[in-house]
Structure 1
Amino acid sequence: MTLSNRLSFTRSLARCLLGLAGLSALSGCGLLIVGGTAATTALVATDRRTAGEQVDDQTIELRVSSEMNKAFGDKARLTGTSYAGRLLLIGDVPTEADRQQAVSIARTIPKVHSVDNYIRVGDLTALSVRTNDTWITSKVKSQLTTTENVPFRTIKVTTERGVVYLMGKVTAAEGELSAKVASGITGVNKVVKLFQIVSRESLITDPDKPAPVTDSSSPSATATPTAADGGGAQPMPVQ
């Protein structure tokens, strides 16, 4: 299947799924009117991205995979995770020049608003390490799902060499709680928060519209400064 066909199929499938989700969202909006408990449940259970953002993020991730493969082939291992147009790049490349090239490529992809560059220069990560990363990701997701007041449906979890990256639209309190939960999982070395901080009031008053977000490059929005400029920012442990 060509890239064009894959993107078309992905968009069509996403729209169908989001359309079905929209039917449930109508009842969720009704819950917001009833009272505080219902409102909390609805906020935690929903993805806070718009339908368009969700489709765009899927398209971005497909494009990253395709473009990086064309540029580097088997000599590199690169993965992109997008949340509302904010793109996290992780993986391994042979040289610093390759690292910078990967960031440049990512910036040309439509709908990418910023790039967090956590690409490592070095040999390809061993399969055993990647398998362990997959296990850690599943454990973190499972723990977030069962933790009260964590909006797990709107949080993306990515693990690379024991470092857990968290993305999503969350309140400051939700972000701190999510990071604390992730840091308690066996095998997690560090947690990097790449959240977009939103106010609880904005989510309750108009949950169907994009909530205003705090500048994600500010210290209050993330635990680690972003590497949007392609610099060598390193993950920092959760305090």
Structure 2
Amino acid sequence: MTTSPSTTIFRRGQRLACACLAVAALGGSLAGCVPLVVGGAAAAAGIGTLALDRRSSGVQLDDQGIELRAAARIREIANDNMNVTVISFNRTALLIGTVGSEADKQRAGEAVRGVQNVRGVVNEIVVGPALNIARRSNDAYITTKVKASLLDASDVPANSIKVVTEGGVVYLMGLVTRREADRATDIARGISGVEKVVRVFEFVSDDGQALPGGVGPSQTVPGTASGSVPLPPMAPLPAPAAPAPAPAPGVVTSPVR
């Protein structure tokens, strides 16, 4: 029986694929299989980061959902002068960016306040012109420097602190002790280019218990432990004339110049 050229090529491809799989299976003992080792290390690092975060896994998923839902809310009311970013930590939503009017700032705050699972809003939006590319690039650089400096400090829980920079202002969010908050603030304030540090911290004791002016460790929300959390439908947007939302109970927001 005559074999067509296309069939021969296909069979050669099958043999080559089988050979590659065999090499991959033995890769643990071969010096040339660095990607396999690196991938394993990266996965382990990801697991370590998750374990060191003081939020429960369910709350971390909630925070991701809040950011997605809040971004959708902002898009619904956005105009040419609205450039708003929402960052969620422990179900507290921080709003940063620029808008063209005080009314737009209030509208953005109320829109995010209506997102499922948000327990408080810290509205740090600035009324003014949007930042240019140079300033945004500088903000990204500052954020990288602050994160690296926190990681270098052995007495700061870097994986429990979220760092965001907007217009030279560094925002720190996290579940920390008062000593850790002061230490992280000093580190951020010492970075070149930082104009101000705003702390959006929730305080815990050394053993993880709630302290006055802060809330304790997050509890896993029922139904979120599986790691698959469907996002619930959004509630209707509130009226634009509603008053500005207050910060979440227990959240300490303090600018440090």
Same fold (TM over 0.5): yes
TM-score computed with the length of structure 2 as normaliser? 0.65
- Determine whether 1:52 maps to 2:78: no
Alpha-carbon separation, structure 2, partners of 1:134 and 1:197: 27
Matched residue, 1:63: 69
**2:83 is matched by which residue type in structure 1?**
R
**1:143 is matched by which residue type in structure 2?**
S
Alpha-carbon separation, structure 2, partners of 1:47 and 1:171: 14
Matched residue, 2:47: 21
Alpha-carbon separation, structure 1, partners of 2:254 and 2:124: 8
Higher relative contact order (CA 8 A, sep 6+): 2
Give the 3 Å change call, closer, same or farther, for CA 214–235 of structure 1 in structure 2: closer
Per-residue displacement from partner, 1:194-218 (whole Å, max 9, x unpaired)?
111000123xxxxxxxx5354349x
Matched residue, 1:85: 91
Matched residue, 1:125: 131
- Pairing 1:38-187 to 2, within 5 Å after superposition: 46-187=52-193
Structure showing greater Rg:
2
Question: What is the Cα deviation at residue 70 of structure 1?
Answer: 1.9
Give the 3 Å change call, closer, same or farther, for CA 161–88 of structure 1 in structure 2: same
Per-residue displacement from partner, 1:41-99 (whole Å, max 9, x unpaired)?
xxxxx100001110000111111112111211443100011111111100111111111
Question: What is the Cα deviation at residue 153 of structure 1?
Answer: 0.4
Alpha-carbon separation, structure 2, partners of 1:66 and 1:94: 19
RMSD (CA atoms): 2.5
Segments ≥4 residues shifted beyond 6 Å: none
TM-score computed with the length of structure 1 as normaliser? 0.70
Q: Percent identity?
A: 40
Alpha-carbon separation, structure 2, partners of 1:123 and 1:90: 13
**2:97 is matched by which residue type in structure 1?**
G
- Determine whether 1:237 maps to 2:251: no
Structure 2: gaps spanning 5 or more residues: 1-42, 216-243, 248-252
Q: Secondary structure at the match of 1:75?
A: coil
Equivalences, count: 181
The answer to whether the 8 A contact 1:196-1:214 is kept is no
Matched residue, 1:191: 197
Structure 1: gaps spanning 5 or more residues: 1-16, 26-45, 203-210, 218-226
Of stretches 61-70 and 128-137 in structure 1, the one that deviates more from structure 2 is 61-70
Matched residue, 2:210: 212
More helix by share: 1
**1:229 is matched by which residue type in structure 2?**
A
**1:97 is matched by which residue type in structure 2?**
A
**1:146 is matched by which residue type in structure 2?**
D
